[in-house]
Amino acid sequence: MKSHDYNVLMQHLLPVLIQHAFKDRKEIRDIIISFSAFFSALCSKVVDIETLTSLERGMAKTLCEVEKSFPPSVFVVMMHLSRHLAYESRVNGPEPFRWMWQFERLEIKQTSEGT
């Protein structure tokens, strides 16, 4: 699977699947849906500066919920870095213009033509 596939899974399919899971653990379900909503809003082609600021604050709250609900081994450095993605998008512009999918597709096309 390529990065586009993971992106679709994380933003669109996971929230639908997780709605019926963890019926007795609502906080876990809400954390996962919050992550999906964060990445979905972050990856839109047009993002407002105020929206990015609120996303950054919301992700800080979500990460605090992760620390309370999951064991410490789940909260690794990469989880913490997701908080900084909103700032990075605010500085560098919207995420879709910096994605590598077009280059991955070019690599796949060149590989299939070479064989």
- Our count of domains for the chain comes to 1
pTM over 0.85: no
Region of 22 (left: φ > 0; alpha: ψ -120 to 50; beta: rest) is left
Q: By residue range, what is the domain housing residue 39?
A: 3-114
By mean pLDDT, which of 25-39, 67-81, 96-110 is the weakest?
96-110
pLDDT tens digits, 60-86: 898 888 888 888 887 777 777 888 888
Report which of residues 101 and 25 the model is more confident about. 25
- pLDDT at residue 110 in the model: 64
- Does residue 38 surpass a pLDDT of 70? yes
